[in-house]
Structure 1
Amino acid sequence: MLTPRKMQYDKAGPKVAEALNKRHFEAYYCPDRAAAVEKVLELISLEDTVSWGGTLTVDELGLKDLLRARGQKLIDRDIAQSNEERVELMRQGLLADTFLTSSNAVTADGQLFNIDGNGNRVAAFCFGPKQVIVVAGMNKVVPDMDAAYSRVRSYTAPGVVQRFPAAKTPCNVTGLCADCMGPDSSCCHFVHTRLCRPAKRIKVVLVGEELGL
């Protein structure tokens, strides 16, 4: 990462965490991946049942393997043998003690914005798991909600769809959002989390590196 960008992240990160705390999230700024991993594991009790939504950030940090290695009880949709089993595990995950995910965008004044296709990931933000741990690289921080919407529709969603070659969406062909309404659209559910209630149910770990899309 360019040194000036890293300097920017280290200056802005604590301020964004403070803004999140004012909105009743429990937020932390970690300067690098190692510190972020340590913080996430610290926030998860060994007695917790843990699940997750689709998230490149959690994969990049190796958190799933670390949880498996320490014997954590998991609701692991990645081991499903069929789509039906996968969907059932996704449903069970919404009643986990801890749900791991990222956020598509975080505003400088402490709000979260997410778009989802199936809806299980964004559902967890609203209700279900006892706690949600959001891990987000500082590359996802934007000035305001207008910028959040623009970033996710024009950049994040078309990038995510590239992971699924069979998805029949315009952005999978052109790389550009066409505001499609087809059955394979990944932009079905839009969730804007303005405040956290109950307070501190959603923990946000900001990372001073670029992670995910």
Structure 2
Amino acid sequence: MDKVISWYIKNKVEKTIGNLEKNNICGLFVNNNFELREKIKQLIPDGSRVGIGDSVTLFDTGIVDLLRNGSYDFLDKYKDGITSEEKKQLYQANFSADTFLSGTSALTEHGELSNIDGNGSRVAPMIYGPAQVIIVVGVNKIVSDLAEAEKRVRNYAAPLDAKRLNKNTPCATLGYCVDCKSPERICNTFVVIKRQFTKDRIKVIIVNEQLGY
């Protein structure tokens, strides 16, 4: 990576982690996916009950495979042949998980997590329930503030996710948000986590990679 770009990213990450810490959120930085997986293994003890939210990032980084092959009680929402009712039960079980992992829609330099969700099954355990929440985020998702976060999600992340999920929404065709009323709309729940009551319950691992949408 170009030295000037590396310097720019380093400064942005340091500022973001500093503000996460002020918000009672633990901020961590790793250089690549290998370091990420090693960090995850350090943070999650064997035998833990582990849930996950819908996340391209967790697949891209190999975290889903790590959980499937590790010594965990993994609440695998992606397993073959799972029914809608079984998936619903896993969503409810996530609230009692020892650790819940997810990506995030955007992370601001002020140390805030901004997410837009379809049915809330991803953001709800972030807010309450699991003893530990681990958020994995690529440097590409760091934005300056909440206004930029919402703009990024509406006009980039959400259209791509709707396309990935084969949703019949305007954004999956146009590539940008028109604040639709489509029955298949995935932008229903807007959640901003500005601070944590319990210090370090949420841990944000920033990866020096371009990850997810």
Q: TM-score, normalised by structure 2?
A: 0.94
> What is the alpha-carbon distance in structure 1 between the residues aligned to residue 13 and residue 20 of structure 2?
11
- 1:67 aligns with 67
Runs of 4+ with >4 A deviation: 1-4
> What is the alpha-carbon distance in structure 2 between the residues aligned to residue 150 and residue 2 of structure 1?
28
With over 3 angstroms needed to count, the CA separation of the structure-2 counterparts of 1:25 and 1:40, relative to structure 1, is same
2:212 paired with 1:180: no
- 1:93 aligns with 94
Unaligned runs of 5+ in 1: none
Note the aligned Cα RMSD (angstroms).
Answer: 1.5
> What is the alpha-carbon distance in structure 2 between the residues aligned to residue 3 and residue 157 of structure 1?
32
Q: Post-superposition shift, 1:4?
A: 4.2
- 1:137 aligns with 138
> What is the alpha-carbon distance in structure 1 between the residues aligned to residue 189 and residue 99 of structure 2?
22
Does the 8 Å CA contact 2:154/2:176 hold for their aligned counterparts?
A: no
Does the 8 Å CA contact 2:47/2:71 hold for their aligned counterparts?
A: no
- 1:31 aligns with 31
1:187-210 Cα deviation digits (max 9, x unpaired): 000000010121111010011111
- 2:12 aligns with 12
> What is the alpha-carbon distance in structure 1 between the residues aligned to residue 127 and residue 53 of structure 2?
14
Q: Post-superposition shift, 1:15?
A: 2.3
2:201 paired with 1:201: yes
Q: Post-superposition shift, 1:3?
A: 5.6
Q: TM-score, normalised by structure 1?
A: 0.94
Amino acid at match of 1:35: E
SS of match in other structure, 1:77: coil
Amino acid at match of 2:138: G
Unaligned runs of 5+ in 2: none
> What is the alpha-carbon distance in structure 1 between the residues aligned to residue 178 and residue 92 of structure 2?
30
> What is the alpha-carbon distance in structure 2 between the residues aligned to residue 27 and residue 180 of structure 1?
35
